[in-house]
Amino acid sequence: MMVVSLGIYISVPFCRTKCSYCNFASDVFSRAVFERYVDRVCADIADAEEAVKQMADRIERNVDSIYLGGGTPTVLDSDQLKRIFEAVRAQFFVTPDAEITVECAPGTLKPDALETLLNCGVNRVSLGVQSFIDAEAAAVGRLHKRATILDDISRLRSSGITNINIDLIAGLPHQIMESWSESLAECIATGAAHVSVYMLEVDDDSRLGRELIAGGTRYHAHFVPDEDAIADFYGIACERLDTAGVSQYEISNFARVGFKSLHNLKYWTRQPYLGFGVDAHSMLPSSSPGLEAVRFATADSLEKYVAGSLLQKTEISAAAALEEMFFLGLRLNHGVDLNEVARTCTPVELEFYRSIIAELVSDGLLEQHETRICLTVRGRLLSNEVFQRFLAPAVPSNRI
């Protein structure tokens, strides 16, 4: 059996300020909490093998990607960041060419923080820019200005870190086509190796989302562009980034040649990964009869996590793995290979999925190239509707 190196994700749920659009398990906490949290994360990493024995068959020791996300990991002090990386290297073999990413809010990359990242082997930084327009950034609670972003990028490059991702959000309050175009132009001008473009999520897990649903005006909600405008912003981003050599490879992600996110590709291609910290998720293969994999997650609140809440386990059957192959694989531009699907499903399942695919092709949401299917441009905008079609409540299978 081919051994696939592990990816490691570490959640750092601390921020300088809570952005109004944010629906992640992150918030502003006293620095007194940081040390207790780092203690717990390091203890969990040290006990990883024992924890995995309760969830899956075994743990892979080779690690080729590490991702510190959040939150803003760079709000931790240098010693705390070092402890986390040392804990990982004490339990796992980090390959010499591993991709090691840290998310940073512009303005948090102080000289000592940057030096610490370099000493810890970090070779990729993801900057939570969201907008290069100062007024748009301020409207959602971001503390940086355009000059801050450009200074951070310059100092990262001078330090030797050239693999830089920039996050942008389409649909922020006060955003119009002219300002969005300006953000895109500035982003491209930085020469960033990777760009992530997210359309604003409207749900009740963020203050801005709740206000939009309620039809209120707090958090500048009445200045949020409508769905059609946001779709236009996304379409323009796809075109202009591609023209600039930053090609789309996943619904929200674009990269120059050789700079796709190795860590995130693990999620979309169902490779094994381990998560540590608040609301961190893991996926490992399983050799148990009838199971393809197991997924497990930590508590989604800081209090429960630090208190030692138990992991929540989900067993992935062969049928569930097949669903994942579709709704994760279709996120990628190269899509899903139907030959691979045929090797993993029953004839009844295959016929069922072929009928769904035919309908989605007819509706202009999927396109098929020989044995491979992928989302159309319209399909990417309506991707959740497409994915839902592959999550039918009762897919016929004739499995025993």
Distance CA 70, CA 280 (A): 10
pLDDT of residue 400: 45
Is the pLDDT score of 261 beyond 60?
yes
Overall fold of domain 6-266: TIM Barrel (3.20.20)
Q: Which residues fall within 8 angstroms of residue 21, CB to CB, at 6 or more apart?
A: 140, 169, 172, 200, 201, 206, 208, 209
In this structure, the strands spanning 273-276 and 6-12 are: parallel
Look up the pTM and report it: 0.93
pLDDT of residue 141: 85
Lowest mean pLDDT among 50-64, 89-103, 287-301: 50-64
Report CA dihedral (79, 267, 172, 201) to the nearest 10 degrees.
-120
367's tokens: 């396109």
What's the average model confidence in pLDDT over 305-332? 93
Per residue in 281-290, pLDDT (tens digit) is: 999 998 888 8
Residue 1: band (very low, low, confident or very high) from pLDDT cuts 50, 70, 90: very low
Overall fold of domain 286-389: Arc Repressor Mutant, subunit A (1.10.10)
> What proportion of the chain, given as a percentage, has pLDDT over 70?
96
Is the pLDDT score of 221 beyond 90?
no
The domain spans of the chain are 6-266, 286-389
What mean pLDDT value characterizes the chain?
92
Neighbours of 399 (CB within 10 A): 13
Amino acid identity, position 84: I
Among candidate residues 277, 283, 282, 284, the one with its CA nearest the CA of residue 309: 277
Per residue in 31-45, pLDDT (tens digit) is: 889 999 999 999 999
pLDDT of residue 36: 94
SS3 197: strand
